[in-house]
Structures are given as C-alpha cells and as structure tokens.
Structure 1
Amino acid sequence: MDIFGSNVFNDQVMKERLPKNVYKSLRNTIDNGLPLDPAVADVVANALKDWAIEKGATHFTHWFQPMTGITAEKHDSFISPTSDGRVIMEFSGKELIKGEPDASSFPSGGLRATFEARGYTAWDCTSPAFLKDDGGVVTLCIPTAFCSYNGEALDQKTPLLRSMEALSNQALRVLRSFGNTTANRVVSTVGPEQEYFLIDKKFFEKRLDLMLTGRTLFGAKPPKGQELEDQYFGSIKERVAAYMKELNTELWKLGILAKTQHNEVAPGQFEIAPIFASTNIATDHNQLVMDVMKKVALRHDLVCLLHEKPFAGVNGSGKHNNWSMSTNDGQNLLEPGNNPHENAQFLTFLSAVIKAVDDYADLLRASAANAGNDHRLGANEAPPAIISIFLGDQLSDIIDQLANGGAKDSKQGGTINVGVSTLPILKKDSTDRNRTSPFAFTGNKFEFRMVPSSLSISGPNIVLNTIVAEVLSQIADRLENTKDFDMELKAILKEIAVNHKRIVFDGNNYTEEWVAEAEKRGLPHIRSMVDAIPAFITEKAINLFSKHGVFSKTELHSRYEIRLEQYCKQINIEALTMINMGKRQILPAVLKYVGSLADSLIAVKNAGAGADISVQEGLLKEISGLMASMKQRLANLELVTDEANNLEGDDIFEKGKFYRDFVFTAMQSLRQDIDQLENLVDADLWPVPTYAQMLFML
C-alpha cells in the first residue's frame, strides 16, 4: 500500500497539495469532460514541481505517443537564472500546458513537410503525471497529446480521446432514451493482457536478428517445444520470479494495477495482466508496462521480447484487449445480470457491438495489423484472420430468440459436482469461454484477442470506440424520434439479430470448416497486413471517422501511409539482417565445417585398408548441396531487396505488396536451407545460439 502510486501525482496528492477551488476545477475537467480552466495551470504546475523536486527530480518532460508505436520524451530542467548569477527552480502553467518538440522528424504520412518543424504537445490532465526513475535519474513525466501546427493529430492519444468522447456522446443519447438522467459520461474501459518472452541477455547479444528485428530470422526446431504442455501455468522459475517481483514493484509505483502473472504456453513465454482502467489511462499504462518490462529485464541479465513471433514453431505473443463501457454513475453497460433476456438496456448495447463488429470487421482487422502479427494470426495460439464474435450458449440463444420476435428466457449455468465429497459444489457460469475466437464475450466485457503484443492498444480501441459510437448513434436516432419506444426498440433488436447474427460463431475458429463457413457467410478473410490497411481509406471509413470527429480524411490517409511504410521498412531491415548474417556468420561456419569434413575424408582415404567413407561422402554431399542452394537463395534475396528499394513511384501499397510477395517469400526460402544446415553442422561451429538454448536456459 505504501508503494502503490508513490510516483504518481494522483488524486490523493492533488487533494493534499492543491487549494480546494483548484482541485475542484481540475476534477471537473477530469471527471466531466469540462474545458480546462487556464487559471488553474500555474497553481497545478507549482504543486507538480514541488512534489517532483521532493522526490529527486531535476527535469520534466512532455511524455507523448507519436506514430512510431513507442513513446517520446524531451527533457527540460526546472532551473531558471537569477540576476545574481544563481538559479531558482521554476515551472509555469505555460510550460505545463504546452510544449514544442520538433514535429518534422516523426512519422507524419505526408501531413508535415520536413521543413515544417513546429509541433505542439498539449497537457492531458485526464491521465495523471508520474515520475520515471531511470537508474536514479528521476524525471517528471506529463502525459500529453501531440499535434501539428495546423492541428492535425500526429500521435496515438489525440484520436483516442476523440473516440472516447464520441462513444460517450452517443451512449448517453441511448441512455437518455431509457430514462437515465443521472449519468453524464460514458467511459470505455480496457484491461490489456500482455504476453512476452524472456531470454538470457548473453544469447540475445549473439543474435543480430533479435537485436535489430526483435525476432529470429532462422532457427531449427529444438527436440522439445511446447508439445508436452508443461510450461502453461507451470511453476515459475526463481530467476523469472525475481524479475516479476521487481517488475510489479516498479509498475505499482507508477499506479499500474498489475494483477496477474503466469507462465504462458511456449517455453520462455509469460503474461502479465492489469485490472481495468479507462481506455486513455490503460493505453498510457500499457506503453509504460512495455517500457518497464524491458528495463527491468536488463537488470536481471535478461531481455524481454515483445515481438509477436520471436520464435517459429512455438506460440507467439498477443495482447488481449478486454473492452467494456461504464457510466460515471457506476453501471457497466455490458453487464447482463441474472436474466439478460429481461435486460433491455444490456441487449441494446450488446446488439450495438454486434452490428458494429459486423459492419466494420475490416477496420477492426486493420487495427490489429502489423508485420509481426502476419506470423501469428491463424496459428494455434491466436485467432484466425477472420473477425467473428463468440457470445456463448446463453447470449447466442437470446439473439436467436430476438431474431424470432423476442427473448423470453435465459439459459442458466447450474452447478458442477466433481464427485469428491470434500470439494465444494461449484456454481457453473452460464457459458463457456472460447479461446479460439478473435472477439469473445467474457462475462461483462469483450476480449479482442487479435491485438499484437508489440502494438499500442490505442489503434484497436480508437476503432472499437468509434464503430460502436456509430451504431449507437443510429439506434439513438430511431429511439429519439419514435412515439412507441418499446415497439421501436423491439424492432431494432430484431433487425440487428436477423441481419448481423452471421458474425456470431461459438465453435472452433481453428478448423478449415469454419474458414469455408465464414466465406459462405460473407465474412472478410484478410490474411496480411498489406491487404488490411487500405480499409482505413475507404469512403465508408472516411465518412465514419469524419462524422464523429475522430480522424479527418487527411489524418486517415497519413496513417495509411505510415502503417504501410513501417511494414516496408520492417521487412527491409529483416531482409538486410538476414543477408548480413547469412554472408558473415552462417556461410563461413558451414564452409569451415565442410573443410573439416573434406580433411577427414582425405585422411580416411589415405589410411587405406578399404575404409568405408560413405558416411563422410554422404554428409559432405548433403551439406554442399544445401550450401549451394543457400548461396543461390541469398543472392536472390539480395536481388529482390535491391529491387524493392529501387521501386519508382509513390504507390506505397504496391511497394508493400512487393515486399510481402517477393522479399518476404525469398526470406522464407532462405530460412529453409539455413535451418536444415543448423541440424547438420557441428554444434561447436554453429555461430549463433540455438532455439534450445534460448528457450530453455533461463
């Protein structure tokens, strides 16, 4: 209790350090979305400065989230000169509210020219300021939005805040139709589960691919993987437990509600999960979680890997985005209650989500797309690249009833008796869970399981908030203009159930039969990031985001450009790294082993006496053949990578397709040869750590 939030300028600290009128004004902005009173800024700034200095800080930074996918900081000291040549510690309201980092060096997707350098950071008072302690260097971090000189969003936070306002506005309209006059705000909430790998630092430093790309570009399958299923929820090794203990301590200091930790399915894989928070704060916290995980790992001579698929052949890592909606008067709008068929308000919000996911499945898929996720989606640990919703027996039955005219009852869970007298009889949930579904209802929330482990959760939640806001606006339009509320609501729920239950699937999403069934239902199957990203610039998407003030047309096009450009750059870095390692590490090691084999063959021949040299000859022939193939495929990878770099024109989509279809394909072919060679070459000569070493030597 003494640790939690000790490095956060939280509500308790604000109460202690701010005058009552300033505290009340600031809380009104935070709680009710009222405009920030500039008059409070100087008072808050001074209190922040005093608090931070007492904690050892000498500098402050506007902490923001540009379109790089990570966070950014520019540190300024509190010192100001005095007339006698000394300094005083100052921090003004102006410095708190606005900063000016160089905007030209961040991705803008064409929003900013290189010479248009001015950008602004704006204080987001809804997310509390905090202290970062980097090796004893304490810095006051002020969460901010980041925009261009003309007001376009250059970051992840600004559109997220816009989408939260859009959802709140439309949800309140629906609630007012139901007679709710007490709620004045609806907040989307998120609890993002974070999966990750840990490996020994000494292995990481010997793998150029891990250092530069975050994943192994080659590596033969070890004799043991995850097939014994002994890692999942297994006993946590002491070294990992020590890491988790320090990680929790550091996160708790930052007010991050780290709750659950356990071994994940793959060897060397783990998970940490927080308690729910508002989407804005949860997003800030998840960015901090990823940053702190990496820093703490290094203190234990470990490296934390957040790539979606750092190791082929074992489970990859995702980030399960548990999303819901709550009112400021304490209602979870996705809480079904004991008899959900009688809960008209719940059924309305549930139906809105169902329709939103069906209408905008392509946008939801695009929001979870990155180069790493192309390796993961569709494998055994991740949902397929087809968006569908799991509701479970109870709610699926209610949707069927609504489609047939009205819901009259709810299936109940009952009890479980395991047949041992000393064990308690367990209350059975009304529905099972479905670990294969990309979008599953799990009690009072939806779990979007498709989100990549390294991605900021802002993008998926921007889409979720906005598409649900759109459907709620459609529902509100009808309810506000009807003379018979009950009849109109019944018609709305029936229409959604009939027209959109195609998106509901409670079975095994991993089967080929489901892929065929999804195609029959007309559900999109978008297999790669390159195919997914154009969803952001369709007329439908532009109209959606513009209507709710989340993205302008130019902002959407900029993100389309940035995401595809990032994909091309990532694949290019991977290809160049593979070429470098192939030429400078793998090929020399194989040549050395071939030389030793040839020497052995000559020595045996010279020994005479009709010695059997078939083993040496066979091995030499096999390795020489693979080496020749590797050399040819290496040359081909160089050729297509050069061709990709020299593509003319500014069609980023065509360039992305080229990287996917030719460069990435050439990398996969080269990997086949290298992985086979790893299993043939003397282990002492193989130049990089193997999968067995990295995954099991913790």
Structure 2
Amino acid sequence: MATLRFQALKDASRRKPIHFEETDRKSILFGSNVFNEKAMKQYLTSDALKGVKGAIQFGTKIERKLADYIAMGMKEWALSKGVTHYTHWFQPLTGATAEKHDAFFETSYDGSDPVEKFGGGQLVQQEPDASSFPNGGIRNTFEARGYTAWDPTSPAFIYGTTLCIPTVFISYTGEALDNKIPLLRALSAMDDAATEVCKYFDKNVKKVTATLGWEQEYFLIDRSLANSRPDIVMTGRTLLGHTSAKGQQLDDHYFGSIPSRALMYMRDLEQECMLLGIPVKTRHNEVAPNQFELAPIFEETNLAVDHNCLLMDIMEKVAERHHFKVLLHEKPFKGVNGSGKHNNWSLATDTGVNLLSPSKTPMSNLQFLTFFINTIKAVNDYESLMRAAIATASNDHRLGANEAPPAIISVFIGEQLTKVLAELEGVTSGKLSPEEKTDLKLNVVGKIPDVLLDNTDRNRTSPFAFTGNKFEFRAVGSSANCSNAMTTLNTIVAKQLKDFKIEVDALIDQKGLKKDEAIFNVLREYIKLSKKILFEGDGYSEAWEIEAAKRGLSNFKTTPEALKARASKQALDLFSEMGVMNHVEVEARYEIELEEYVKKIQIEGRVLGDISKNHVIPTAIRYQNTLIENVRGLKEIFGTEFETIAKEQILLIKEISLHIEGINSKVEEMTNERKKANNLTNAQSMAEAYCNNVKPYFEVIRNHCDRLELLVDDQIWTLTKYRELLLTK
C-alpha cells in the first residue's frame, strides 16, 4: 500500500495543466445548449411558444395538442445538435439528481421504418420506479409506481448527447417524492403573499419572484492522491490524518493567484456552465489550501436550485478530465476551513423593484422596511426550523467550527439599521400626529439609503445576515441541495407576510387607521417581538451561547437534535397552512433525513474501523518490528549497556503498542455500539444512538492513528498525508 501512495504522489507531480482555450465570448456561448426563448422562437409555433410562456409566467396548463407541438420542436432542436437520447431529469430525496436515458430512435412492430420519435406524452410525463428512492414510508416496495412530470419553468438543456428535461417527481397517490415540488409550492405561496403586500405600495405589481444567488465552495485534490485514500473515496472526507505543519495559518491562499492547473479546470468548468445557461461570474481561492469558490449572477430561485444541482454534477465530470477529485463535503480535512454554500436571497417584483433594497423616497423605504422587518420576524418565529433545514451529518462538522456560522440561528443587520429599527420602535402607537409623520418620513424612513452607503461591514459569524440588498443564509452546507433551505425560508416569510396583511387590514378596517399608520403600528410591534433574534457580536463566543440561551434561542449542535423541529406541530401546521407539504410529506422527509444521518455515520464507522485495523495497525507493527530488530542488534553489540543506548527505541516501541491497543479496543467498542444502535426500530432513537454512542469513538480512534502517523517511518506509511493532499498543486 505504501507503493500506491508514492505512485500517486509521482503521478500527481507529473500532472500538467490541460491546455484550454477560451475562444468565444461568454455572452455568445451563454445558453447555447438550452431550449430557451431564443431557441423556442426558432423551433416552436406561435401558439406553442405562447403556451410555454403562459406556463412559465402564470402557471397555466399546457394542452395536450400544444405539448405535442412543443415536443416536436424540442426534438428537432436537440437533433440539430447531435442529441440521441432524452431523459426526465429530477431531484429525488437522495440529495442528488436522477435520470434514465431513452433513445429517440424507434421502429415499427416488425422492425422496419426506423424513426426518431418524441411526443407530448413523453415530454409531459414518464413513469420511473418510485420504490427504490427514499420515500419515508410513503410507498411500499410492492407499490412502485411514481411519475415524473415536466416543469416548464426550468428550461430543457443538452448535456453530452442527452436532452435533459427538468421534472417533478410524484407518487401514484399524489405525494411529492422530490425536492422540487415543495420548493415550487413555497415559491407560489411567496408570490401570492408578497404580491398582496406590495399592493399597499404599488397597485401595478402582479408578481413577486424570490431570487437566489448561491456561492459554491469546494476543494480540488489530485485524483490519484484522492483515490489512494479509502476514506475520501467512500465518505468524501478524511476520517484520519495529522494536520500539516503548514496549512492556512499564513493566510496566503485566500484570494491569491489561482494555481495554473486549477485555473484550467475553472475555465473548462465555466465553458460548460455557459453552454448550459448557468451564469457563473466569480472565481477565487478560498481560505484553505486547494479550496476554491465560484458564484453566479442571481436567478429565479427554482432555476437557481436546478443550476446548482446541475453544477455539482458537472464539477465532478470536468474534474475527471483534469485528473482532479472535487470534494464538496463540508469538512473534508481537519484543522483547515470547511466549505459552505451561502444562499443569497431576495425578492423582486415584475415592475423591476428589489423589495430588500432601499430607495430614495419615503414610500419606497416603507416598502423596504415592511419586507425587511417581516423577514426578521419570520426567522425569529421559526429559527429552530431554519436550523433543521441545514442539518446534515456533514454540516455538523462545520457549524460553529470557528470558520462558519454557529448552530444558533440569529440575524445580523448592522449598526445603522439597528438604529433605524430602534427609532421606528419609539414611534407613538395609534394615530400619528403631523409632526410624527414628518419625523418618520424624513428622519427615520427617508434617510435609509444614506446610512446604507456606509453599512458595508459583514459579520462572518452570523448564519443569516443582511448584506445591503439581500439576506445571506450563510449556514447552508456545500454539498446540500439548496431547495431544503429555500423551501423553508420562502414558506416562513410567505406565512409572515400573510399574517402581516391580516393585521394591517384589521387596523385599517376596524380601527380606522390610515394605511401608512397601520403599517407602522404593526412593524413597530414586530420589532419588539423580534429582538431576541438580532445579534451583532461574535457568534463563536461562549458569551453568545449563554446569552442565546437566556433569550430562548435553540442551540442544536447535532442533526438528530435539530431534525426534531422538522416534525414539530409548528412545522406541520406551517407547511400545511401554506399548501407546501401535507403532514405525510413532512413526516416522510423527517424520517428520510434521520435515516440518511444514520447511514452516513454507519458508513464512516465501518470505513474508519477498516482503515485503522487494515492499514494503520499493520503499518505500525511493521515499523515496530524494525525497531525491535534494531534493539536486538544494539544488545548484541553493546551487551548490558544496550538499555541505555536503546532507551528511545524501547520507549517508542512501547508507545506504538499503546496506540495499537487503543485502536483495537476502541474499534471493538465502537462496533458493539453500532450493533446496539442497529437493533433500535425508532428512527429518532437510532439517530441519537449513532450520534451519542457511536460517533464519539471517531475522534478517539483518530487520535491514536494520527499519533502513529507521526511515529512511523514515512517511507512505509500507506496513507497519503495532509501535506501531500493539500499542498500538491
């Protein structure tokens, strides 16, 4: 095995950047492989084009006859680009994407008259097996029928020689079996609620769109080096390995010159993204060695989520061409920063207004404050559900690890806006005097654009921060599907806006208040009720944990703890009321996420036990035998004096024995705890057992292994080391 490690290092040292030419401007390449409006105008009839645009903009149903015409045009476009197959591309509850390819090619019953065929029925609906995907008990194995149905709001695209049609995935009995359906429902609820509130300020608003801009962090590791590590291959992270003498402590990687080999990868990746209409714009080195980031321009949330799912798949495929392995795990290496996927979220009207961006007029700023304060109130009321939305086994390693937001959900808005809210809170209740109206409009509301010019500081320890014209949900994990976080966020804000309108209308109709006064009164109460969620300080400090507990904020440090909020009465009522998920769908996802947690910890435990006993211990014994032979030789030469001369070797032999014994005993104990956990039938109890009784052994076993890494001769150590994984360009 040591030979494998050194061969991998030799292969990595010989790698040269793949030469890649960016010959066309990105604006020319962008969307070339997407069945977008430009392509539809060329290949669809006017009625078919009108039908698709109506479905996208207003959610109108596409008639079967039109679906046939759309399918015909889509097929002709795809064939003109060399496509041979099509697939319904969907997002089952595995966290990844799924696809089954069918050829356009068909023949008649007797095998004659071959033809490329693709009709409306094949476009609109397919029937994949629903029993082999996670379903949380919704479907039995013998009840396999499920359907994928075309989502026209996300355009079809070509990848390789396959036409990919974004779809939803639903069970025969009607429950959502994917991440897309709840997201679409949440976005619809947001549109309805936000549009109604917007009409207080502009009667012309007919639609509000939630927008998303994700920031994808990742590690690039030489593929041969990654493949020499069984833990990386099977779990996506290193389960052991001593930290390198040089890591990120010099801050010399962040925003530094991008290594040429990584840059060639990025350019190739961006080329693929441009063809697929993914508007990537930013690339740079992140904090840890061999860690990078790319970020796109904001898009409509459903499309942005689809693009991020597609991107994660493309990243790995492009990496193969460049002999890289992409690590999207939130914490692949101990001792250096992990990776996140900051979700930048905002709301935009069909009249071109960003509802979370202040303007120059008091009325526009009142609109801004309305959506700004309602968002804060929503997070305040549903902070435990927000934490549950980003809870995974891998993200547990990152949250609160002094490089990412803590597990306590709080909102950062900056010093200037804190003062604005304090002034607004101080307004007298009831009807406002003329002086109060003037003071509000000129001194509180009217000056917001000016103060925001200087409100550019950022709190990197905040999980949910306002950053000028958007909120940044920083706690989302790098490997996550954004849909979970976005479904939750849009649902809670939609619910809050719905309640806000009811309260404002009641003050107008029952108390006789003017619209602005009613809005101010409700917002002022929301400010008072939401103070516990606002925090401007150091989220990593122990003082904040104590303060957060006093405020009544949750602090779920593990996934099994956090996920309880997913199936709480508050969550069930929320998703049901907003039409996002029924009780069966919510509880199914709760079960699936617990099962996923158990399986990931179970796999990691098995892999750690295997590496420890079949790699580390044999290597340590081999080196120990070398030391023993050395001591015997010294005894033959020096006789009775050998104990003094061989003192250090003897101590080293004893130390190695202690670590070997420690590994053996702890792996056995961990295995026994795993067996006990596997006998539990309740998903929550099993997850807690794995979390509290199995997982703690990981660090103990790792410590023994990492100590042996420092003691054993480098020439016989079988596992590629951190300095080699992280510092190889």
The question of a shared fold, defined as TM-score above 0.5 by the shorter chain, is answered with yes
Matched, 1:171 2:194: yes
Equivalent position of 2:660 in the other structure: 627
1:276 & 1:37 partners in 2: Cα distance?
A: 32
Matched, 1:112 2:139: yes
Equivalent pair of 2:30/2:274 in contact (CA under 8 Å): yes
Deviations 1:30-75 (A, max 9, x none): 1222233333111110011011111111110000000000000011
Residue identity matched to 1:271:
E
State the SS of the aligned residue for 1:343: helix
Shift, 1:181, TM fit = 2.5
Runs of 4+ in 1 over 4 A off after TM superposition: 338-342, 410-415
State the SS of the aligned residue for 1:447: strand
Equivalent pair of 1:177/1:480 in contact (CA under 8 Å): no
Shift, 1:339, TM fit = 6.7
Equivalent position of 1:420 in the other structure: none
State the SS of the aligned residue for 1:331: coil
Equivalent pair of 1:256/1:285 in contact (CA under 8 Å): yes
Q: 1:356 to 1:294 in 2, by over 3 A?
A: same
Residue identity matched to 1:103:
A
1:329 & 1:570 partners in 2: Cα distance?
A: 46
Equivalent position of 1:657 in the other structure: 688
Unaligned residue ranges in structure 2 (runs of 5+): 1-26, 429-439
Matched, 1:648 2:676: no
Shift, 1:499, TM fit = 1.0
Equivalent position of 2:480 in the other structure: 455
Summarize the alignment of residues 255-274 of structure 1 with structure 2, pairs less than 5 Å apart.
255-274=277-296
Equivalent pair of 2:210/2:301 in contact (CA under 8 Å): yes
Shift, 1:223, TM fit = 0.6
Equivalent position of 1:419 in the other structure: none
Q: 1:315 aligns with which of 337, 346, 351?
A: 337
Equivalent pair of 2:359/2:449 in contact (CA under 8 Å): no
1:354 & 1:585 partners in 2: Cα distance?
A: 51
Shift, 1:84, TM fit = 6.7
Equivalent position of 1:150 in the other structure: 173
Residue identity matched to 1:287:
C
Summarize the alignment of residues 225-264 of structure 1 with structure 2, pairs less than 5 Å apart.
225-264=247-286
Q: 2:244 aligns with which of 180, 200, 222?
A: 222
Equivalent position of 1:409 in the other structure: 444
Q: 2:182 aligns with which of 156, 159, 163?
A: 159
Residue identity matched to 1:567:
Y
Residue identity matched to 1:585:
H
Return the TM-score normalized by structure 1: 0.95
Matched, 1:684 2:701: no
Shift, 1:466, TM fit = 0.3
- CA RMSD after TM alignment: 1.6
Shift, 1:342, TM fit = 6.8
Equivalent pair of 2:93/2:178 in contact (CA under 8 Å): yes
Residue identity matched to 1:599:
E
Size of the aligned set, in residue pairs, is 680
Q: 1:86 aligns with which of 113, 122, 128?
A: 113
Equivalent position of 1:123 in the other structure: 150
Q: 1:310 to 1:492 in 2, by over 3 A?
A: same
1:648 & 1:533 partners in 2: Cα distance?
A: 18
Summarize the alignment of residues 491-530 of structure 1 with structure 2, pairs less than 5 Å apart.
491-530=521-560
2:122 & 2:333 partners in 1: Cα distance?
A: 45
Deviations 1:137-173 (A, max 9, x none): x100000000000110000000000000000011111
**Matched residues, percent identical?**
46
Equivalent pair of 1:393/1:431 in contact (CA under 8 Å): no
2:362 & 2:469 partners in 1: Cα distance?
A: 11
Equivalent position of 2:568 in the other structure: 538
Matched, 1:369 2:391: yes
Matched, 1:585 2:611: no
Residue identity matched to 2:659:
L
Deviations 1:214-244 (A, max 9, x none): 1100010111111111110011101000000
Matched, 1:14 2:36: no
1:380 & 1:320 partners in 2: Cα distance?
A: 16
2:613 & 2:55 partners in 1: Cα distance?
A: 59
Shift, 1:338, TM fit = 4.5
Q: 1:198 aligns with which of 213, 220, 238?
A: 220
Shift, 1:335, TM fit = 0.8
2:236 & 2:176 partners in 1: Cα distance?
A: 28
Q: 1:120 to 1:355 in 2, by over 3 A?
A: same
Deviations 1:492-518 (A, max 9, x none): 011011110221112221222222221
2:364 & 2:175 partners in 1: Cα distance?
A: 45
1:400 & 1:216 partners in 2: Cα distance?
A: 48
Summarize the alignment of residues 608-627 of structure 1 with structure 2, pairs less than 5 Å apart.
608=638, 610-611=641-642, 612-627=645-660
Unaligned residue ranges in structure 1 (runs of 5+): 416-426
Deviations 1:619-649 (A, max 9, x none): 111111111111111211221122222x133
Residue identity matched to 1:449:
R
Equivalent position of 2:463 in the other structure: 438
1:317 & 1:34 partners in 2: Cα distance?
A: 40
Matched, 1:380 2:407: no
Equivalent position of 1:490 in the other structure: 520
Matched, 1:46 2:72: yes
1:337 & 1:452 partners in 2: Cα distance?
A: 33
1:502 & 1:35 partners in 2: Cα distance?
A: 45
Matched, 1:353 2:375: yes
Deviations 1:330-367 (A, max 9, x none): 11111122577971111111111011000000110000
1:39 & 1:351 partners in 2: Cα distance?
A: 47
More deviation, 470-479/300-309: 470-479
More deviation, 154-163/477-486: 477-486
1:556 & 1:67 partners in 2: Cα distance?
A: 12
Equivalent pair of 2:391/2:562 in contact (CA under 8 Å): yes
State the SS of the aligned residue for 1:334: coil
Equivalent pair of 2:289/2:727 in contact (CA under 8 Å): yes
Equivalent position of 1:330 in the other structure: 352
Equivalent pair of 1:368/1:451 in contact (CA under 8 Å): yes
Q: 1:230 to 1:428 in 2, by over 3 A?
A: farther
Equivalent position of 2:210 in the other structure: 188
Equivalent pair of 1:413/1:431 in contact (CA under 8 Å): no
Equivalent pair of 2:389/2:484 in contact (CA under 8 Å): yes
1:685 & 1:279 partners in 2: Cα distance?
A: 51
Summarize the alignment of residues 661-676 of structure 1 with structure 2, pairs less than 5 Å apart.
661-676=692-707
2:554 & 2:363 partners in 1: Cα distance?
A: 30
Equivalent position of 2:17 in the other structure: none
Equivalent pair of 2:131/2:144 in contact (CA under 8 Å): yes
State the SS of the aligned residue for 1:409: helix
1:75 & 1:445 partners in 2: Cα distance?
A: 39
Equivalent pair of 2:107/2:114 in contact (CA under 8 Å): yes
Deviations 1:383-402 (A, max 9, x none): 00011111112211111112
Return the TM-score normalized by structure 2: 0.91
Residue identity matched to 1:693:
E
Q: 1:8 to 1:366 in 2, by over 3 A?
A: same
Shift, 1:684, TM fit = 1.1
Deviations 1:445-499 (A, max 9, x none): 1000000100100000000010000000001112334232222111101101111
Shift, 1:431, TM fit = 3.8
Residue identity matched to 2:476:
V
Deviations 1:153-212 (A, max 9, x none): 00000000000000001111111233x222221111100100000111111111111011
Residue identity matched to 2:329:
H
Residue identity matched to 1:409:
V
